[in-house]
Structure 1
Amino acid sequence: MAVPNRTPLTDFSDGQLAVLVKDGDSDAFAELTARYMSLIRYKSAPFHSAQLETDDLCQEGLVGLYNAARTYNSANGAAFKTYAGTCIANRMIMAYRSALSRKNEPLSNFVSLSDGEHSGLELPVGGWDPETLLASSEGVGQLWEKIRSVLSERELRVLRLYLSGYSYAEIAAKLAITAKAADNALQRARIKLKSRFNG
């Protein structure tokens, strides 16, 4: 429910939205999600061929973004986008490692994408206690429920595939639609999400 006379969330910086997320504002996280869809898609691309389901990749990327918002500290000197990108990538790396370990495949050729040791950031990945991880997953799960209530089935499927690194052509082939229809569905999804969560 919209708060009367509230400044539109589109006017907030990413860092300001992160503060709202810490205070439990799910609408602020939804706005961050709309802004970071492309980054989550980009970060998921290296894992496209891994044994991970589309929903899993989306979920891990969103959990990484949620964790970043909850732990971001501007005093550390890093921009939120930089910090969030690292958290999203590391969360996906954890999922990738887990998927490989379940298949008993060696990780001898695995290269970490984390550059945290060079950026002065304290990365939350790997140091989360179970309670924090559970809270993060529940928060993202609640967001997905809100997203499902706004989008059509096609828009939701296109969004999930897009976030998981699929191109418009690949999405079109998977859903038996044209690339233009996939693009239109994604644009509608973005508009609906911004409209729903910026009120």
Structure 2
Amino acid sequence: MDKQYNISLTACTDSQLAVYIQKGDADAFVELTARYLDLIRAKSAPFHCTFLDRDDFCQEGLWGLYHAACTYQQGKGSSFSTYAGVCIQNHVITAYRKAITERRQPPNGFVPLSDGETFSAPDTEDPETILLSKERMENIQFSVEHILTKMEQQVLVLYLNGCSYAEIAQKMRITQKAADNALQRVRQKLRKQS
């Protein structure tokens, strides 16, 4: 590819740089990145306080800019800067949503706390069933208070309040694996008592 035009890349418009990028010119993308770095930072700024690293969002923004440059078609109704802004934002939001979905997944080797059995109040008003349910709940409460360690109790309470493994780990200042191990021990201990 003839690189004579590289001397004047700074004088090119954004849409001209996009044409060069579509032809495979890496220098044109470097120039375009320099122009859009502030926009990438602005689009990713609302997500900086989340659990992902700031650089991850900026990288996703760069992918959005590259996608915009590779797919932009002049004369389709919008300027390159508008199109690039949408592509950058879409890539950042997609990365955020993907990270949230992955964060909610339990780690490998996850063992559920129960096998699908529930401990809710019985639907019937039969006194015998109510009494048996009450005794079972008292046994579970006794087991939680006397058999589980303090750490296991804290992990269980956080888990039952809907915290993810990552949130439990963060609140208790332990690793996600330690939270998973604690919940597995809880499950095993409670199963022995039931």
TM-score with structure 1 setting the length? 0.49
1:60-71 → structure 2 map (5 Å cutoff):
60-71=60-71
Whole-angstrom distance in 1 between the partners of 2:5 and 2:37: 28
Are 1:58 and 2:78 an aligned pair? no
Which position in structure 2 is the counterpart of 1:31? 31
1:162-177 → structure 2 map (5 Å cutoff):
none
CA 1:104–1:21: 2 relative to 1, 3 Å: same
Whole-angstrom distance in 1 between the partners of 2:42 and 2:7: 30
Which protein is bigger by CA-based radius of gyration? Answer: 2
Which position in structure 2 is the counterpart of 1:49? 49
Whole-angstrom distance in 1 between the partners of 2:5 and 2:91: 36
Whole-angstrom distance in 2 between the partners of 1:6 and 1:98: 38
- SS state of the match for residue 76, structure 1? coil
Task: Please report how far the alpha carbon of residue 4 of structure 1 lies from its aligned counterpart in structure 2 after TM superposition.
Answer: 4.5
Which position in structure 2 is the counterpart of 1:3? 3
Where does structure 2 lack aligned partners over 5 or more consecutive residues?
106-194
Code of the residue aligned with 1:37 in structure 2: it is L
1:20-169 → structure 2 map (5 Å cutoff):
20-104=20-104
CA 1:102–1:27: 2 relative to 1, 3 Å: same
Code of the residue aligned with 2:23 in structure 1: it is D
Task: Please report how far the alpha carbon of residue 34 of structure 1 lies from its aligned counterpart in structure 2 after TM superposition.
Answer: 0.3
Q: Write the deviation string for residues 62-83 of structure 1: whole angstroms up to 9, x where unpaired.
A: 0000000000011211000000
Equivalent residues, number: 105
Whole-angstrom distance in 2 between the partners of 1:43 and 1:27: 24
Q: Write the deviation string for residues 134-180 of structure 1: whole angstroms up to 9, x where unpaired.
A: xxxxxxxxxxxxxxxxxxxxxxxxxxxxxxxxxxxxxxxxxxxxxxx
Give the root-mean-square deviation of aligned CA atoms. 2.1
